[in-house]
């Protein structure tokens, strides 16, 4: 597993971060400031964090600008003692440069990876079942029509394919 291997966290099965890898306690900047709605500030405080402006004492950044990776790079350059960054989405591709430029043993990166895995999987299953039963045309039908559709029960084979998130 590389330093930047990213795994989904599903419930309580995630191992606790070792003490020597935990960021120092200090102010957390919620940025960009124009995106820092009260709900985000309240969430940081509810988690035990202290909100503070970006500066020398900043130890964490909650980044809310999903399409502004250059702004995050600027913030990290202004606050070299930051040890934790929370990225805004499950997908962090836009932030690859920030991850590469700020690769340090004392830096922890977190995101919402895995947060959408279960609902997306459930939705995909629902769409597959709807397709088997010709749901799109049935919902528009004005009469019962002919009996059509495939059933899962009694089928010669049924395959489940797992893709995407995994918990380790």
The three-state DSSP-derived secondary structure of the chain is CCCCCCCCCCCCCCCCCCHHHCCCCCCEEEECHHHCCHHHHHHHHHCCCCECCCCCCCCEEEECCCCCHHHHHHHHHHCCCCCEEECCCCCCHHHHHHHHHCCCCCCEEECCCCCCHHHHHHHHHHHHHHHHCCHHHHHHCCCCCCCCCCCCCCCCCCCCCCCCCCCC
Per-residue confidence band for 12, with pLDDT thresholds at 50, 70 and 90: very low
Would you state the structure tokens that stand for residue 20, as one six-digit string? 């020597």
Cβ neighbour number for residue 80 with a 10 Å cutoff: 10
Instruction: Give tens-digit pLDDT for 103-135.
Output: 888 888 888 777 777 888 889 888 988 888 888
Average pLDDT, the chain: 81
| Measured distance CA(97)–CA(71) in Å, rounded | 12
User: Do residues 4 and 99 touch, judged by C-beta distance below 8 A?
Assistant: yes
Per-residue confidence band for 2, with pLDDT thresholds at 50, 70 and 90: very low
Question: Bigger pLDDT: 105 or 72?
Answer: 72
């Amino acid at each position: 597993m590389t330093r930047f291997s990213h795994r989904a966290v599903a419930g309580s099965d995630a191992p606790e971060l070792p003490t020597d890898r935990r960021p120092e306690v200090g102010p957390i900047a919620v940025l960009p400031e124009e995106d820092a709605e009260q709900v985000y500030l309240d969430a940081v405080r509810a988690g035990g964090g202290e909100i503070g402006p970006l500066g020398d004492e900043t130890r964490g950044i909650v980044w809310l600008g999903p399409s502004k990776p250059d702004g995050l790079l600027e913030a990290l350059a202004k606050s070299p003692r930051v040890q934790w960054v929370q990225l805004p989405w499950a997908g962090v591709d836009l932030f690859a440069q920030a991850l590469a430029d700020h690769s340090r043993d004392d830096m922890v990166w977190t995101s919402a990876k895995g947060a959408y895995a279960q609902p997306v999987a459930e939705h995909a299953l629902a769409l597959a079942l709807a397709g088997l039963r010709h749901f799109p045309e049935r919902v528009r039908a004005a009469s019962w029509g002919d009996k059509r559709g495939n059933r899962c029960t009694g089928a010669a084979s049924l395959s489940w394919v797992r893709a995407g998130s995994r918990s380790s």
